[in-house]
Structure 1
Amino acid sequence: MRILVFPHSMEIGGSQLNAIELAASVRDRGHDVAIVSGSGPLVEKVHEFGVDHIPLPDEWGRMSLRTHRFLKKVVRDRGIDVVHGYEWPPAMALYFGPHLFQRVPLVCTVMSMAVAHFLPRTMPLVVGTDDIRKTAAAGGHTAVTLLEPPVDTGANAPSIDGAAFRATYGLDPDAVLLVVVGRLSSELKREGLLAACDAAGSLAGRGIPVQLAIVGDGPVREEVVERARMANARAGRQVVVLTGALMDPRAAYAAADIVLGMGGSALRGMAFGKPLVVQGELGFWRLCTPRTVDEFLAGGWYGLGDLAFPVGDDGIAVGADRLCSELEPMLADPDHRRLLGAFGRELVVDRFSLTRAAEVQEQVYASAIATRDRAWSAETARSAHGLLGHYLRRKSRHWLGAGLSEDFNAIAAQKRSPGAA
């Protein structure tokens, strides 16, 4: 098969890393795979994997006529058999371009926490949790495949040495090191990052030898830097360290004693044999154990706390307290940490391997080609109408100063205001 993959960005993040790693793995199974995208740090990763990269000018925008024409030309010139968009913007660009006008089968992967209501329900859909699969199927989507975020368990393994990471960033070799890796974004991540800073400061202030390394960058960086400064002042020493974004964060995972995280980052942490505390919103933190793992296998590596908590520092304070409660039994018990780390590693190897994911993805492509639907249908009009309404709502929220940068990941905000998305 000749396959064109369109990730939603080339910034460092879980969905786009999955797109690149899966594209390379499918290529290794004997297919011709190319990735089309704008610029960003992960373009280097595409080249590293030896996958053909087709640059898309950033200034065009994903839904512009120039982008549609460009995508159609790529499909025509390369004889593409199936196109694959990660998240709704690339999927809709491919839908209103090559799919409608060249009848090229289209697959969409959604690793966000919700499926956009305007996605065509006849479009083959790949989602990351069983709960989202059930919701999408109940909403009328005719072909929904569960493909949990894959992990390269060979490249992400306990054999990697993390000592150099601690030395590079001045971290105490004897402290219990908490590590969180991810984009510092306002949706999903902000509350947990601030709560983690507060929790680390609180624990260290009580004399517990703990440090927190935050690996990543993004729009809330300055807010996190200020919270880290406050935590360090509270403890009277350096407790929280921000490293910035790392193209290869494996040394950070390897250096950790405990990983804090959600989504693909949570799984990568477990691949290194580290105990995991799952990060969510509205005060949610929960240790992954044999007793709690089923809720994450069903609903994803994320959670929501009490909806009664207001947005802002009160919710963060509750989250910091809960995180301390989850951490305290492990901090002085390395044997407990080792047992939970071994449990997590076994789980990831058995269930989330990249090899298995590539097999499933290959089957999804083959099925899309074999069962291609009529390009123009009633779904086309429904999707166009829904997409237009979505853009108008986003514009109005932007004018009112209430826009969401990652609308289908703004789960806590949507739970409070169901009409927001």
Structure 2
Amino acid sequence: MATLRVAVYPHAMHIGGSQLNAVELAGALSDRGHEVVVVGEPGPLVERVRAMGLEHIAINARRHRPSPVVARRLQDLSRRRGLHVLHGYEWPPALEAAAASAMPGSSAVAVCTIMSMAVAPFLPASMPLVVGTEAIQAHAAARRPGPVWLIEPPVDVAANAPGYPVADFVARFGLNDGGLANPVNIVMVTRLATELKLEGVLSAIDAVELLADLPIRLIITGDGVARATVEERAAKVNASVGRRAVVLTGELFDPRSAYGSADIMLGMGGSALRAIAFGRPLVVQGERGFWRLLTPESCPTFLRQGWYGLGDGGDGAQLLTGILRPLVGDPTRRAELGAFGRRLAVERFSLQSAAALQEQIYLTAIEQRRVAGAHRARVVWEGLRSASGLVKHEVRERVKRLNGKAARDDFNAAHLAQVSIETTSGGRLQTPSAPGSD
């Protein structure tokens, strides 16, 4: 097989699910013999990119998104290096890659991956699209003519595995000094973002207070704009229970020691999958009060809809308390669920299998572009349609801000859990709205 020359462009370079997937897949593709560079702003993940032996091409962090300047830079990079693929993760990089691919002199085909839970309706219709769940694949394929591929969020199951050393982590954060002889550590590795994450983080802290009679400790690893809010709630609960029951570690460049220290994991998306790779029982986090334990019975729901859910708006702390209380007291059950999750991660979510499929997607996209030729009229039409849709989206977001409504920090988190997905919370079921329905 010929060597492919690929530019991978994550939507950000801080620690987070989509961008970790992008970087880890880039490394795995390089291991398969391809020439891969990573385009992105400065950030913590740059160090990881370089540690993989990949070149990092910096772009300005303070830029409009999507940026015509970045699109021209991608086009120039494609022309100078003879790239075959420009691969954008999430919608702004995807639009920039599509624009660069359509410019004269570009040799590359644009590919888009959406690892969040809704596909922007203004993406070019013929652009090859990769999504992360079966439900999103079916939903998107019914609404766009271009190919829609499925790559479930991959995990390096060799690097993320049971037995990871945690002694330094325990000592660094004083986890032996909480007044508990044999604490059960409940761990979250998450961005402390107001959107999508904060509700669940605060519910988990409140659950610690409700479970104060049990020897538990909640460890929250991550950082973000909501950190002050999380710290305030944690301090309140610690004072209430009279011990250091909630510990915030901040963001860790390599959070594997946090996963390794867990007896029970709470999480969504890529963090949920890393949790099961470590062989830990997992309670899946969502929004509107959603929490659900991963078991052989609940697993098909998550494989279909993704590692997330929407509840009915009930009390998430109470629901989580009901899940955790029996689990904390049953180490045999925890071991069984951890072993089940580890098997699932190895058999279905391996990084190496995902890289092989990614390679096939690239080869198919290149061949389809060769067969189709330039089709300049279609390229122009799709470009105009995308530009029009983007302008409408930005106007709607501006109106929301003017009306005092918070803009979401990730467009693709706006509509999570796709149409016809059964979501369970507190014994009741609901079918969330499809993207674009509001």
Question: Any idea what SS the aligned residue of 1:371 has?
Answer: helix
Question: Any idea what SS the aligned residue of 1:201 has?
Answer: helix
Give the deviation of 1:377 after TM superposition: 4.5
Q: Tell me: CA distance 1:347–1:332, structure 2 relative to 1, closer, same or farther (3 Å).
A: same
Residue of structure 1 equivalent to 2:165? 161
Q: Tell me: CA distance 1:159–1:212, structure 2 relative to 1, closer, same or farther (3 Å).
A: same
Residue of structure 1 equivalent to 2:23? 20
Matches for 1:261-410 after TM superposition, within 5 Å = 261-306=267-312, 309=313, 315=314, 318-372=315-369, 374=375, 376-402=379-405, 403-410=407-414
Residue of structure 2 equivalent to 1:212? 218
Structure 1 CA distance for aligned equivalents of residues 199 and 218 of structure 2? 16
1:281–1:412 Cα contact (<8 Å) kept: no
Find the partner of 2:14 among 11, 14, 24. 11
Matched, 1:192 2:200: yes
Give the deviation of 1:411 after TM superposition: 3.3
Give the deviation of 1:248 after TM superposition: 0.3
Task: List gaps (5 residues or longer) in structure 2.
Answer: 419-431
Q: Tell me: CA distance 1:10–1:410, structure 2 relative to 1, closer, same or farther (3 Å).
A: same
Give the deviation of 1:58 after TM superposition: 2.0
Matched, 1:235 2:245: no
Q: Tell me: CA distance 1:289–1:413, structure 2 relative to 1, closer, same or farther (3 Å).
A: closer
Question: Any idea what SS the aligned residue of 1:286 has?
Answer: strand
Structure 1 CA distance for aligned equivalents of residues 263 and 150 of structure 2? 31
Structure 1 CA distance for aligned equivalents of residues 354 and 433 of structure 2? 34
Q: Tell me: CA distance 1:285–1:71, structure 2 relative to 1, closer, same or farther (3 Å).
A: same
Identity %, equivalent residues: 51
RMSD of aligned alpha carbons: 1.9
Give the deviation of 1:66 after TM superposition: 2.2
1:202–1:231 Cα contact (<8 Å) kept: no
Q: Deviations over 1:110-137 (max 9, x none)?
A: 0111101111121100000000000001
1:187–1:410 Cα contact (<8 Å) kept: no
State the aligned residue count. 410
**TM-score of the superposition, structure 2-length normalised?**
0.90
Paired letter, 1:184: L
Residue of structure 1 equivalent to 2:429? none
Residue of structure 1 equivalent to 2:149? 145
Question: Any idea what SS the aligned residue of 1:401 has?
Answer: coil
1:162–1:256 Cα contact (<8 Å) kept: no
Find the partner of 1:67 among 66, 70, 73. 70
Structure 2 CA distance for aligned equivalents of residues 70 and 377 of structure 1? 20
Structure with the larger helix share: 1
Task: List gaps (5 residues or longer) in structure 1.
Answer: 310-314
1:289–1:340 Cα contact (<8 Å) kept: yes
Find the partner of 1:50 among 50, 53, 74. 53
1:202–1:235 Cα contact (<8 Å) kept: no
2:309–2:417 Cα contact (<8 Å) kept: no
Structure 1 CA distance for aligned equivalents of residues 42 and 413 of structure 2? 22
2:118–2:435 Cα contact (<8 Å) kept: no
Give the deviation of 1:69 after TM superposition: 2.0
Matched, 1:80 2:83: yes
Question: Any idea what SS the aligned residue of 2:327 has?
Answer: helix
Structure 2 CA distance for aligned equivalents of residues 355 and 418 of structure 1? 31
Give the deviation of 1:65 after TM superposition: 3.0
Residue of structure 2 equivalent to 1:312? none
Paired letter, 2:356: E
Structure 2 CA distance for aligned equivalents of residues 417 and 350 of structure 1? 30
Question: Any idea what SS the aligned residue of 1:36 has?
Answer: strand
Deviates more, 1:140-149 or 1:353-362: 140-149
Paired letter, 2:291: W
Structure 1 CA distance for aligned equivalents of residues 228 and 188 of structure 2? 17
Paired letter, 2:29: V
